[in-house]
A and B are shown apart, each in its own frame.
Chain A
Amino acid sequence: MKLRLIFLVLSLLVFLSAATGSYLYYASLKSAAFTEAEHHAITRIEIIQKNLSSYLSENVKPVRTLAGMRQLIDFLESQDSKMVALDPEKQIEYQQRTELLLDHFNTALGSDVCYLMDLNGVTLASSNRRAKDSFVGKKFAFRPYFQEAAKGSPASYLALGSTSGRRGVYCSYPVTTKTDARVLGVAVIKASLEQIEKKLGQSRDEIVVVTDPHGLIFIANRKPWLFKLLWQTSGIEQHDLVRSRQFGTGPWAGVGLVAEGDHYAVDESGRKYLVNRLEIDGFPNWHVIHLRSLEAIYKVVFDPLVRVTVPTVVTLCILVGLAVFFLYRNASVEIVQRKKAEQALRESEKRYRSIYHNTPAMLHSINAAGFLISVSDNWLEALGYERAEVVGRPLFDFLTSESRDYALKEVFPEFFRVGFCKDIPYRLVRKDGSIMDVLLSAIGDRDREGTIVRSLAVSIDISDRKLAEAALKQAQEKLNLYTRDLERQVKKRTVELQRLSGSILADQERERAAIARGLHDELGQVLTALRLEAVWLEGRLRSVDGKAAERAAMMTSLIDDTIDEVRSIALRLRPGILDDLGLVEALEWYTADFERRTGIACTCNVEGEVPELNDRLATAAYRISQEALTNVARHSQADQVKIFLVVDATQLRMVITDDGCGFVADVAMETGGLGITGMRERAILIGGSFEIVSEPGRGTRISFQVKVGEEEGV
């Protein structure tokens, strides 16, 4: 609104200055025009005066010539009484010759009348002698031109003809004798003024008058003004005029012109004139007066001015108006836009404020000195402060001393360097003195130089989280305790189970050994004894009873089969060779037996001196190799299998490889198929390790390794 007003005022000022400029321009033009007009008027009056002067003195030289003519002198001399009287004829002859000369001059000069007067002022001869108003015989001694000429000096004079009633310019010259220059008479040439008046023109705006010494208008380009007084005159002057008898008898009215200063005058109708006057040469106190209508001057000044200026001014005004209009419109649009933008900004700010305060998060801003400049409602609510207690105070006041140190030493320098920070663990102090754990993240607001001038920070209350974490930690510790306990128990149970498994295996072995030995030794011995008897019987019977001997042989054969069977069972249960001779012999026997049974080439290589091995270790090694070879025979489709037994002072290592089809070792290890569980169990039970490396198509390699000497008791 204000801007619009300013704009309007500015527009007005522009308009005013344009108008003022125009006016000044106009005024200067006007004054120039006036000056010009004055000059013009002066020039004009000078020309008129010159013209008048030359016209009025036109007949000065002709009248001198006329006056010097022989005929006039002769004629006048003849009339002179003092001269010798001439005969009448001669006189008439002179008169006629004079009259002829006068006619001749009159015609040649185009003047009104030429005449000759004697010293008494009586007209002796005239060119208008035949006209009704003939001057002949008339006496004009009162005329100044006569009086002057009679005295001997030529004169020119303006006067109203008393006989003709017509105005004229009278030029007189004395006619003198040739011998003594005595004045005989006066020659006069009178010229009409009508011609002059015509030359003055009839312009309404320009009045030219010629006044006599009394101010009577004698010549004018305005008929009604003739023989009136230009200025109002006193009675004395009227009287003088009457007495001069030059312009009739009067009285003479004024034209109603009133002078205003030297150069202006106003007429009856109120028209104003510029007045200039000049004396006419040769006519003392006769003036030519030039009245120039101011109106006309104005018109002369204004017309071109109006013609030139008005369109310019109008165009200018229109242009200025248009410019103002467009500027105003643009300004209005801009103002509207700016208002809109301001509105939007206000609303955005309002929204921002609303968001700032209503966001369910603790927001605050600090300045570069670390003083709080704003905080959100939530911040106040969470910490229990009033806004007035907080804003303007350093953020440090609301931190615990450790947090303060942390902030001073690490967070603040870093923040003011990089412009942000994230998840800073602070501890805030509530109004009631309690502590709140928060995670603070902030970004910095930089000024043009890039210096951080304030921050916007959000703090997240993690007290609950901390509590939860603590609880979780406690729970975890508890769980750990439980887990450890459980693990302990599991371990214990595992050990127990292993012990159990070990003892089961050991029992089994013992059992097997016992059964095998029983079968082998007891049953075998009995069978052997039986066989001894049967063979003995056969021997005895052969010579006595052939059939009985045959029966005995059959018995022997049957007993042999039974012995084989029993041996086989016993060996399968547990080969006595393992107990009697040891692992190496048992493996040798077993591999040979295996080869015999399966046709798969089987070698057993032993490196190093095999010491006396304890029963459990030997049994484990034997059983593992037995299981491995059984797998080879059943699944591998191998051609060869090799057992390497490497023994040194500290450990025993057994590797069994075959060139069979192999299998996916990991799967087999997990599922525990192929008797792998058993092998591993046996290895573990004696504190050894067990490993299978196999791949489909690449054979199988089984490793068993155990320390020798350090025996684990079972």
Chain B
Amino acid sequence: MIKVLLADDHAIVRAGLVRIVEESGDIEVVAEASDGREALRLAFESPVDVAIIDISMPGLDGLEVAAQLLTAYPDLPIIILTMHEEEQYVIRAVEVGVMGYVTKRSAPEQLLAAIRKVYGGARYLSDEAVEMLALRLAKGVSGKSPLDSLSTRELQVLRQLASGQTNREIAENYNISIKTVDTYRFRLLKKLNLRNNAELSRFAIQNHLIEP
């Protein structure tokens, strides 16, 4: 059984989540906390296998709790389970050192998989979060780079184009028109002073936007 700590200030949500976890059969909630301090106390009282922590909590917020837990138990897999769907939270959470990030909305579908994955030592992040991380990493690695002049969406389109996606696929992915994708492509070529998609791919690889 995977022992889990669940910290969420909202009782109803916590109850729902507990139910999802308990129905799994191989995972059990050994501790439930309604705020950050309680979560820390419980975690220190009896160690757990995985900590599932909400960000928005009274007192210490989830990221702070995660940081403190990781100080005490550097190997403890922590999953951030939150209402926040913004990628910025994901990045912050990863920076803090958590292994998984699941939105509450997608909890019914993803939480158990996430617990199992992090328990197995792997990360669990959404595709969007992974992409964001990759972009952030690329920027962070190159420092002052031509990437600075690109907007988020431009970076996204660049990454997709470099990895061989068609305009139509990209349009579908981001829920934008094919024409807009073409506009982004044209703007990218101009900003980066490149001539075609092949050069775009080479540029993306050189800048660690995609794996070769």
Chain A interface residues (CB < 8 Å from chain B): 517, 520-521, 524-526, 528-529, 531-533, 535-536, 539, 560, 563, 567, 575-577, 580-581, 585-586, 588-589, 591-592, 595-596, 599, 601-603, 605, 639-640
Contacts and interface: CB of A to CB of B under 8 A. Distances in A.
B108 A531 contact: yes
Contacts of A603: 148-151
Given A536-B19, A577-B89, A529 B13 contact: yes
List the 9 closest pairs (A to B, CB-CB), nearest first: A532-B16, A535-B108, A592-B152, A525-B10, A529-B12, A585-B88, A528-B104, A601-B151, A529-B13
Nearest to A601: B151
A528 B83 contact: yes
A639 B20 CA distance: 47
Contact of B89 (A531, A563, A581, A602): A581
B37 interface: no
A596 B88 contact: no
A170 B152 CA distance: 194
Interface in B130-176: 148-154, 174, 176
Contacts of B12: 525-526, 529
A588 B90 CA distance: 13
22 contacts: A525-B10, A525-B12, A525-B104, A529-B15, A531-B104, A532-B19, A532-B107, A532-B108, A535-B108, A536-B19, A560-B105, A576-B56, A580-B56, A581-B88, A588-B88, A588-B152, A591-B151, A596-B153, A601-B151, A603-B151, A605-B148, A640-B151
Contact of B180 (A517, A539, A599, A640): A599
Interface of B: 10, 12-13, 15-17, 19-20, 55-56, 61, 63, 83-89, 92, 104-105, 107-109, 148-154, 174, 176, 180, 183-184, 187
Given A591-B152, A601-B184, 4 more contacts: A533-B16, A560-B105, A589-B87, A601-B151
A529 B105 contact: no
A584 to B, nearest CB: 9
Interface centre among B17, B148, B152, B174 (most CB of A within 10 A): B152
B8 to A, nearest CB: 8
Contact of B92 (A521, A576, A585): A585
Contacts of A592: 87, 151-153
A595 B13 contact: no
A54 B84 CA distance: 195
A640 B13 CA distance: 42
Contacts of A532: 13, 16-17, 19-20, 104, 107-108
B86 A520 contact: no
Contacts of B151: 591-592, 595, 601-603, 640
Contacts of B109: 535
Contacts of B148: 603, 605
B89 A580 contact: yes
Contacts of B56: 517, 520-521, 576, 580
Contacts of A533: 16
A154 B80 CA distance: 216
Given A521-B56, A577-B88, A595 B105 contact: no
B168 to A, nearest CB: 18
- Is the contact region of chain A dominated by helix, strand, or loop, or is it mixed? helix
A573 B89 CA distance: 19
Given A526-B12, A529-B10, A532-B17, A520 B88 contact: no
A562 to B, nearest CB: 11
B88 A589 contact: yes
Contacts of A535: 108-109
Contacts of B10: 521, 525-526, 528-529
Contacts of A529: 10, 12-13, 15-16
Given A576-B56, A581-B89, A605-B148, A525 B20 contact: no
B154 to A, nearest CB: 6
Contacts of A599: 176, 180, 183
A563 B81 CA distance: 16
A585 B55 CA distance: 16
A315 to B, nearest CB: 125
Given A521-B83, A563-B105, A567-B85, A595 B152 contact: yes
Contacts of B89: 577, 580-581
Contacts of B87: 589, 592
Nearest to A520: B83
A603 B152 CA distance: 7
Most chain B CB atoms below 10 A, which of A521, A529, A602: A529
Contacts of A595: 151-153
A627 B149 CA distance: 22
B108 A536 contact: yes
A176 B10 CA distance: 231
B170 to A, nearest CB: 14
A528 B13 contact: yes
A164 to B, nearest CB: 187
Contacts of B149: 603
Contact of B86 (A536, A589, A605, A640): A589
A529 B150 CA distance: 39
Nearest to B15: A529
A449 to B, nearest CB: 88
A532 B187 CA distance: 43
Contacts of A539: 108
Contacts of A588: 88, 152
Nearest to B187: A601
B183 to A, nearest CB: 8
Contacts of B20: 532, 536
A544 to B, nearest CB: 16
A520 B84 CA distance: 9
A529 B174 CA distance: 28
A536 B16 contact: yes
B212 to A, nearest CB: 26
Contacts of B180: 599
A535 B23 CA distance: 13
Nearest to B92: A581
A586 B55 CA distance: 16
Nearest to B10: A525
A558 to B, nearest CB: 13
A633 to B, nearest CB: 14
Contacts of A567: 83, 85
Nearest to A522: B10
A529 B176 CA distance: 31
A601 B149 CA distance: 10
A640 B153 CA distance: 12
B112 to A, nearest CB: 12
A254 to B, nearest CB: 174
Contacts of B105: 528, 531, 560, 563
B61 A580 contact: yes
Nearest to B153: A595
A520 B107 CA distance: 17
Nearest to A566: B83
A642 to B, nearest CB: 8
Contact of B83 (A525, A596, A605): A525
A575 B20 CA distance: 29
Contacts of A605: 148
Nearest to A567: B85
